Amino acid sequence: MLHRDEAGWTNPKVIAILAIVFFCGSVVGAAVMRQYLHSRMPLSHDEISQMRGLRFDALKHKLNLTPGQEQTVSQVLDDFAKYYQNLEEQREDVAEAGKKRIYAVLNLEQKQRFARLLKEAPPL
């Protein structure tokens, strides 16, 4: 017969397994989302700058911006490009740290399967 403290949600093994499953799902989800977003969004700083230029030219033309407005809008778009780049770098760092933590708790066979999972993106 099971004691109350050995069964259910209070069991440390159950909590640990749920945490590992949640974390693995988060890492795989981040990898899939990265693949999906990067296929639809610019990847390099040059591409971001090029997209920024296209948007700025369109805004300048369609809104008939004054020189002062052009300067402000240009600065805002530059700031956004830098912010996006910083976010991307931070997201990559978090994903890499998460993968390392997962690998640390897996055995050799699990590590090999996990590596295959990260390389295979499911169809969208």
User: Which band of pLDDT confidence, cut at 50, 70 and 90, is reported for residue 122?
Assistant: very low
Which amino acid type is present at position 56? F
Segment 64-77, tens digit of pLDDT: 888 898 888 888 88
Cβ neighbours of residue 28 closer than 8 Å, sequence gap 6 or more: 117, 118
The percentage of residues in the chain with a pLDDT greater than 70, rounded to a whole number, is: 72
Instruction: Break the chain into its structural domains and give their ranges.
Output: 4-119
CA distances from 3 to 6, 11, 12, 17 (A): 5, 11, 14, 20
- pLDDT of 96 strictly over 50: yes
What torsion, rounded to 10 degrees, do the Cα atoms 81, 84, 85, 91 define?
A: 180
- pLDDT of 45 strictly over 70: no
